[in-house]
Amino acid sequence: MLPRLAAPVAALLFLALSACTQTPVANQPDVDTVEAPKLGACRVLAPADISEPSNASEVVDCADEHTAETFAVGTFPAAVATGAVDDPALGAHIFASCSEKFLAFLGGEESSVMRSTLTWAWFRPSEKAWEQGARWYRCDVVGGAEQSEQLISLPQTAKGLLLGQPEDRWMVCVNGPTVAGSVKIPCSEPHTWRAVTTIKLGDARDPYPGDRLVEVRTRDFCSDSVGAWLNYPVDYDFGYTFFHEAEWEAGNRRSICWAKTGQ
């Protein structure tokens, strides 16, 4: 039930790195560059780009159309960067670092960020650049996911985009008979289900309670929560998305509740 990208949960799936590299394209920066990316840079990325471990897309003016903005740049600590470029320890470090910065950058609380169309992807040096000593990482906010047909164009900056009451185009819905198996879309488009609340199932140090308990607690909470969100109608449909031990170990403690809107 978990896509490769969704925020901040989407970032969980970036814990597994691949050792793929990209072939440089003429008139674009070299993917094997050792130089660290610039904070605040904007780019035009496609869904296929965000699944790649490295990226050398050309930087564009943030006043122009773009689908990605770099909200965090850093250097892997020596204790983390002792292994190969595809060491899973790199992903664990990135999740801890960029998920917190992502929340602060968007200005939303954890529940609203998790229910938004805004997600983040991260990139590291290519294998060749890593061998030459590059240890930087880059985290980009994007509007959409790997499964999206296309990424949503962002405003000049996405900073503070989820403050207050976010616009529907930044919140996530689906248009299908069920939530499972349906592609997530902005709520500004015709839809049948909307992500309306989340439930926190534990604290950072809590052990994973097991699939059955997670599902039961999520189902019971979402039944009540969605009913309240719909103003307690006599009949209503609700859905829920819960995650498993791998996502729990990566840091996620929330499930998502969905209301059937019929619109």
Q: 231 — alpha (psi -120 to 50), left (phi > 0) or beta? A: left
One-letter amino acid of 249:
E
pLDDT tens for 38-88 read: 999 999 999 999 989 999 999 999 999 999 999 999 999 999 998 899 998
Domain boundary among 143, 158, 190: 143
- Do 134 and 13 lie in one domain? The reply is yes
Query: Is the pLDDT reported for residue 10 higher than 50?
Result: no
- Do 106 and 175 lie in one domain? The reply is no
pLDDT tens for 178-208 read: 998 888 889 999 999 999 999 999 998 999 9
What mean pLDDT is reported for the chain?
Answer: 86
Nearest alpha-carbon partner for 66 in 37, 50, 42, 102: 42
- Do 97 and 192 lie in one domain? The reply is no
- Do 107 and 229 lie in one domain? The reply is no
Domain assignment of residue 153, yes or no? no
- Do 138 and 177 lie in one domain? The reply is no
Domain assignment of residue 137, yes or no? yes
Domain assignment of residue 150, yes or no? no
Q: Once rounded to an integer, what is the mean pLDDT over residues 10-31? A: 40
Q: What pLDDT score was predicted for residue 29?
A: 62
For residue 99, the enclosing domain spans: 9-143
Contacts 24+ apart (CB under 8 A), 131-135: 132/32, 132/34, 133/34, 134/33, 134/34, 134/35, 134/36, 135/75, 135/76, 135/81
Q: Is the pTM of this model over 0.85?
A: no
| Cα Rg, the chain, nearest whole Å | 19
**Residue 153: how many CA atoms within 13 Å on its side-chain side?**
8
Q: Which two tokens stand for residue 44?
A: 């035009």
pLDDT tens for 193-250 read: 999 999 999 998 999 999 999 999 999 999 999 999 999 998 999 999 999 998 898 7
Q: Which residue matches tokens 């997670």?
A: 214
Domain assignment of residue 160, yes or no? no
Q: Give the confidence band of 133 by pLDDT, cuts at 50, 70, 90.
A: very high
- Do 62 and 185 lie in one domain? The reply is no
Domain assignment of residue 138, yes or no? yes
Q: Give the confidence band of 263 by pLDDT, cuts at 50, 70, 90.
A: low
Q: Give the confidence band of 32 by pLDDT, cuts at 50, 70, 90.
A: confident
Domain assignment of residue 202, yes or no? yes
Rounded to the nearest 10°, the torsion over CA 74, 78, 80, 81 is: 80
